Amino acid sequence: MAIRDTAEEWQVTATATPFRGNKTSVRTDDVVMPDGTVARRDYQVHPGSVAVLALDESGRVLVLRQYRHPVRQKLWEIPAGLLDVPGENPLTAAQRELYEEAHVKAVDWRVLTDVYTTPGGCDEAVRIFLARDLSEAEGERFQVSEEEADMELARVPLEDLVRGVLAGELHNNCLVVGVLALTAALAGDGVDALRPAEAPWPARPFDA
């Protein structure tokens, strides 16, 4: 038996949207269960996100430290952002986020992995890219604001991030998934075996 996720959609007998925010909303669905009963499910509707694990020639990962109010912590993260332009190519979005948050560009892009962040309560899908052959972007730095105005940037050896993840010192999901996925790729078939940057993404179809 192939161990892979498959598309499936159970019958919804009623739906409502009790909350709408700037970027996300909350939906309530009445879903028919396999035994015929109807269960109510509340979940966040999310446009999706991209994240970038940018690896330099010295084996260091570009990370940033940002305040996250819901968890009341400053977290070390990799560059990431919302897919808030309908139908936008996720690679384009990832390149933009790397430029805006780190003023960096990359030549080599590959899909590292695709994840659902919290599928029990949110439909957010994230595509995490691996970016290599880094250099400073041209032109003026992007003007950040709010939490991003206080961001710190660093380049940290991959093995130090893995140690921090396993020690329970680093918690951002894209960073955790990204560094562990890259470590697995390096120990396996290598990064050249990763999917191309334009690989299909059924969770968030996009324009070519």
Residues known to be catalytic: 148
Rounded distance between C-alpha atoms, residue 134 and residue 121, angstroms:
36
Q: Residue 185's closest CA among 199, 175, 173, 195?
A: 195
Q: What SS3 class is residue 177? A: helix
Rounded distance between C-alpha atoms, residue 36 and residue 166, angstroms:
42
Q: What SS3 class is residue 206? A: coil
Rounded distance between C-alpha atoms, residue 150 and residue 73, angstroms:
13
